[in-house]
Amino acid sequence: MEIVSKAKSFGGTQGVYRHASQCCGCDMTFAVFIPPQAKKMPCPVLWYLSGLTCTHANVMEKGEYRRLAAELGLIIVCPDTSPRGDDVADVEDNWQIGKGAGFYVDATEAPWAKNYRMYSYVVEELPRIIADEFPADMGRQGVFGHSMGGHGALTMALKNPDRFKSCSAFAPIVHPATADWSMNAFRAYLGDDEAVWRQHDACFLIEDGASFPEFLVDQGGADGFLDSGLRPWLLEAACKDTGSKLTLRMQEGYDHSYYFISTFMDDHLRWHAERLSV
């Protein structure tokens, strides 16, 4: 593992790291914030999954999480959103497929299957590195994310309820199998069998019997992608009368940007801290 950069912040350390990923078949970069409490004891881990076109850096630079994460004693891990490199498949004129648009699935179709294995990377490979290299309490993990990353957080929690003890999202793509933003990527990565898509769709997973104790979702009311890509009311309908409790908060006047995310970041960190028994 290569250290790309390190900086002291709020008594802790914000680091950026690079390693050769077996899952993705290329070098992958990720960010980790270590709070000051980790000098004395392992700390719980909160995974942040970013949205379309983003890298690990967007939330690191704009998310405003370090002050409260340092106070609460949370390790924050920020993976990239896709494989990277000159040999990695891409669609240069389509920001919804290819680099920056891994959708947190394991692709099965050529040419994407060679590198686009972001589900296994985030759920299996990167946690091993975090456990080995950082003072992390892997028995206390939570996951949250934005937009495409909100989709990833919801599906990973639903598929791994024994791994994650908390889950929240900012403006998630809740029903990607039917959303304008994601249908083309699902078809490219997973093929034409829409039954396969259900395994990577929060609404369908809940409909098919998966559950998670509770979700927190914040959604901007002025989000320009609300009706075409996000549609949180579909998650609300899916969770109704099931084992998954949803707190959906519509935030009037807020859009899809990091101005929105940073405004409610503290709420989400405290939500996770309570459920991770910090």
Do the bridges between strand 12-21 and strand 214-220 make them parallel or antiparallel, or are there none, so unpaired?
unpaired
Do the bridges between strand 26-34 and strand 214-220 make them parallel or antiparallel, or are there none, so unpaired?
unpaired
| Burial letters 159-174, b for 16+ CB under 10 A, else e | bebeebbbbbbbbbbb
How far apart (Å, rounded) are the C-alpha atoms in residues 52 and 225? Answer: 12
> Among residues 223, 244, 268, 272, which one is catalytic?
223
> Among residues 56, 175, 256, 268, which one is catalytic?
256
Residue type, 243: G
How far apart (Å, rounded) are the C-alpha atoms in residues 239 and 228? Answer: 20
Q: Is 182 a catalytic residue?
A: no
Query: Can you say whether the dihedral through the CA atoms of 78, 122, 270, 278 is positive or negative?
Result: negative
Contact call for residues 201 and 155 (beta carbons, < 8 A)? yes
Q: Is 147 a catalytic residue?
A: yes
User: In which element (H, E) is residue 169 found?
Assistant: strand 164-170
How far apart (Å, rounded) are the C-alpha atoms in residues 56 and 29? Answer: 7
Contact call for residues 242 and 209 (beta carbons, < 8 A)? no
> Among residues 147, 166, 168, 182, which one is catalytic?
147
User: In which element (H, E) is residue 7 found?
Assistant: strand 2-9
CA dihedral (120, 125, 130, 136) in degrees, to 10, reads 60
SS3 100: coil
Query: Which residues are known to be catalytic?
Result: 147, 223, 256
